[in-house]
A and B are shown apart, each in its own frame.
Chain A
Amino acid sequence: MKNFYIFTATAIVITIFTVLFVPGADDYVERIFQIYLGRAAR
């Protein structure tokens, strides 16, 4: 499990930096979120 926790922590850090600094990544996340939110609200 220790390796899995390290993997998760690394993935979270990479995710944060990707969304913050990779052009278009934030928009992609928002687009996917919009789809699921719209479905949930119906």
Chain B
Amino acid sequence: MNLFKRAVIVVICLLLIPFVAVATAGAKQRFEDGPNRVFSGGPLVAGELYSGSEPDWSFVSEIPTIEMQLLNPSQSRRIWIAEYENKIYVWSGYMGNPIGRIWKQWPIQAERDGRAVIRINGVRYERQLQRLKSGDVLDGLTAIITAKYPSATTRAAIEVGDVWLFEAAPRG
């Protein structure tokens, strides 16, 4: 029994080292200007703040990921983006999965307060995230998404809540 107890302590201590590494890297990223991979970053500070009429978003089809920051809380993350009929959309998968919902807090936060800033090619855009749960637009949009990314995003997945989809609309 004593041997078993010691073995458990050794395993816990050894697991503590990678846990500390991950926690430290995550905490460090919070103080950076923007995200890196999965860890949230700090507010998006650098880059010109775009002002003017709505841009032609077709260039987004060539952009693999963007940085997006919510105003509340002011944390940023790196996410995929799609353009459809000159509107831009962001989404989060794994929302039907308990681990996914722990990992992906931003969709829940964005539904409460959708004010956001996105940074693409070093330019920041003020946007308002508006969740879409249904509609015929989902057919064309999910076709664009699955053509662009190795994604299982379908209209059905959005409608049942496995994927949370937001239009990043102009902030009024």
Q: Contact residues of A with B, CB < 8 Å?
A: 1, 4-5, 8, 11-12, 15-16, 18-20, 25-27, 29-31, 33-34, 37, 40-41
Q: How far is the CA of A41 from the CA of B9 in the complex (A)?
A: 28
Determine whether the beta carbon of A20 is less than 8 Å from that of B36.
Answer: no
* Contact between B29 and A41, CB atoms less than 8 A apart: no
User: A-facing mask of B28-56, CB < 8 A → 1, else 0?
Assistant: 11000000111100000000000000000
Give the docked Cα–Cα distance between A20 and B97 (Å): 32
Nearest residue, chain A, Cβ from B32: A26
Q: Can you name the residue of chain B whose Cβ is closest to the Cβ of A38?
A: B38
User: What are 20 sample pairs from A and B whose C-beta atoms fall under 8 A apart?
Assistant: A1-B6, A4-B10, A4-B13, A8-B13, A12-B16, A15-B24, A18-B21, A19-B28, A25-B25, A26-B25, A26-B28, A27-B36, A29-B21, A30-B22, A30-B26, A30-B36, A30-B37, A30-B39, A34-B38, A41-B103
Contact A33 B22 (CB under 8 A): yes
**Which residues of chain A have C-beta atoms less than 8 A from B1's C-beta?**
none
Q: At the interface, yes or no: B147 with Cβ under 8 Å from chain A?
A: no
Partner of A34, one of B6, B14, B37: B37
Given that A15-B24, A16-B20 are known contacts, is A30 also in contact with B38, CB under 8 Å in the complex?
yes
List of B residues within 8 angstroms of A19 by Cβ: 21, 24-25, 28
Residues of B with Cβ closer than 8 Å to A?
6, 9-10, 13-14, 16-17, 20-22, 24-26, 28-29, 36-39, 94, 97, 99-100, 103
In the complex, what residue of chain A is closest to B152 when comparing beta carbons?
A42
Measured CB to CB, the closest approach of chain B to A9, in angstroms, equals: 9
Once the chains bind, are A37 and B13 in contact (CB under 8 Å)? no
Cα-based distance from A29 to B16 in the complex (angstroms) = 14
Q: In the complex the two chains form, what is the Cα distance from A17 to B39 in whole Å?
A: 18
Q: How far is the CB of A40 from chain B (nearest CB, A)?
A: 5
CB-nearest residue of chain B to A8: B13
CA A37 to CA B14, docked complex, whole Å = 19
